[in-house]
Amino acid sequence: MRKIALITGANKGIGFETARQLGKLNYTVLLGARDENRGQAAASTLKGEDIDAFFIALDPTNASSVANAKKTVEATYGLLDVLINNAGLFLQEDSGLASQIPTQVLRDTYDINVFGLHEVVRAFWPLLIKSKAARLVNVSSGLGSLSLHADGMFPEIQAIGYNSSKAAVNMMTLHYAAIWKNTPHRANAIHPGSVKTDMNKNGELSVEEGAKTSVDLATIGADGPNGGFFHLGKRMPW
């Protein structure tokens, strides 16, 4: 029986490639997306590659949309084996010194990167724990690492909204993982790397490389980590 995986923000970029790679591993992949036309087109593309793929209308910033998506998955499959929170936002207005960034930029960024992520986790949690071994993967960023910032890894600190939102994602992941301590379920955060996408024009990695860490953490075995932060098989500092 195929395992069921839901990926948010899956109509393009890293999310789409994550769905493709999981589909090639014989998972049924549910492509969460806000735009129906783009979501259906993405699912059709994967079906053309003999992947069991379906579009799910899902806007993480809209509680009704999330609730409806949960009802659809529950009615169709009864459970969820993998949830990958890939949807995220980086605003160009965030590119500046922290003291100069409008508060609204932080609100807009947190709305999807933090609050939307939690809304999705909260809604689908009952379906995840019905799985024999659920896998929750939150797409974070090395830019959310307090340790790397404190160590001077990023000498020109900008993007307070995006960076702090990903730091929040890291902390939230630890909280989710703590609930699953001593269970077969696993929750982890990942850093995809500097991937060339619509959001990051200057990325160095391909989307195939960027999706790899999410896929690896979504498919870990019973002895896999819980409550970790990873990039391409290596632990990242919180």
Helix axes 117-128, 160-179, angle to 10 degrees: 20
User: Which pLDDT belongs to residue 52?
Assistant: 98
CA distances, 233 to each of 101, 127, 187, 224, 229 (Å): 34, 27, 15, 11, 10
Would residue 166 show up in a list of annotated catalytic residues for this protein?
yes
- Two tokens, residue 86: 């890939």
Residue type, 98: A
CA dist., res. 10 & res. 15, Å (int): 4
The b-or-e profile of 134-153 (16+ CB within 10 A means b, else e) is: bbbbbbbbbbbbeebbeeee
Write the CATH number for 128: 3.40.50.720
CA atoms within 13 A on the CB side of 64: 0
Active site residue: 3, 12, 70, 166, which one?
166
Active site residue: 3, 27, 110, 162, which one?
162
User: Which pLDDT belongs to residue 155?
Assistant: 74
User: Which pLDDT belongs to residue 204?
Assistant: 72
CA dist., res. 85 & res. 39, Å (int): 16
Does residue 197 register a pLDDT over 80?
no
**Domains in the chain: how many in total?**
1
Selection from 71, 83, 87 nearest residue 180 by Cα: 83
Q: What domain range includes position 41?
A: 4-235
User: Which pLDDT belongs to residue 229?
Assistant: 98
User: Which pLDDT belongs to residue 122?
Assistant: 98
**Count of other CB atoms within 10 angstroms of residue 61:** 15
- Two tokens, residue 149: 């910032």
CA dist., res. 31 & res. 34, Å (int): 10
What pLDDT, in 10s, does the model give residues 81-122?
Answer: 999 999 999 999 999 999 999 999 999 999 999 999 999 999
Tell me the whole-structure pTM to 2 decimals. 0.96
What pLDDT, in 10s, does the model give residues 143-172?
Answer: 999 999 998 888 777 899 999 999 999 999
